[in-house]
């Protein structure tokens, strides 16, 4: 995005895309993620903060959201981390019975917010 918009930052932000599948949110199950557990590199977080963008809405090609039984989560992470493209695999949330079809994020201050599909391209906040 920074290259497309002609923006430069003090560090090189490189793509971490890999040939992974994406899972659509069309399963009609509730999901809860923990924002602080979502691995966002510091330079990306800083760039998003500078631009007034939410990192959860910025395109991030090559990522996989895998849904596995809670009893299998540790083994799934172990297998993913053993692959060159999965070394940063982490558990970021759970499927929950509440709010079917909605993704909710637990914030750093203990609240929650809905992580909805954007209606259009994200625009920076103007303060």
Residues 6 or more apart whose Cβ sits within 8 Å of residue 15: 61, 62
Say if strands 103-106 and 112-114 run parallel, antiparallel, or are unpaired.
Answer: antiparallel
The Cα 20–Cα 18 span in angstroms is 6
Q: What pLDDT, on the 0 to 100 scale, is given for residue 82?
A: 96
Superfamily designation of domain 2-114: PurM-like C-terminal domain (3.90.650.10)
pLDDT at site 18? 47
Q: Give the per-residue pLDDT at 120.
A: 64
* pLDDT above 90 as % of the chain: 29
DSSP state of 33: E
**Sequence-ordered list of residues with C-beta below 8 angstroms from that of 5, at least 6 positions apart, any chain:** none
Tell me the per-residue pLDDT of 61-99, one tens digit each, with 9 for 90 and over: 667 788 899 999 999 999 999 999 899 999 999 989 898
pLDDT tier at 31 (50, 70, 90 boundaries)? confident
Domain parsing of the chain, residue ranges: 2-114
């Amino acid at each position: 995005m920074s290259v497309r918009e002609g923006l430069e930052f003090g560090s090189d932000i490189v793509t971490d895309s890999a040939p992974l599948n994406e899972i659509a949110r069309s399963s009609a199950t509730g999901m809860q993620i923990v924002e602080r557990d979502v691995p966002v590199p510091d330079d990306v977080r800083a760039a998003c903060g500078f631009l007034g963008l939410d990192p959860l809405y910025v395109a991030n090609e090559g990522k996989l959201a895998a849904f596995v039984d809670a009893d299998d989560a540790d083994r799934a992470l172990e297998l993913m981390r053993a692959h060159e493209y999965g070394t940063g695999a982490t558990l970021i949330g759970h499927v929950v019975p509440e709010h079917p079809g909605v993704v909710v994020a637990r914030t750093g201050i203990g609240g929650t917010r809905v992580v909805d599909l954007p209606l259009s391209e994200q625009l920076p906040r103007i303060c």
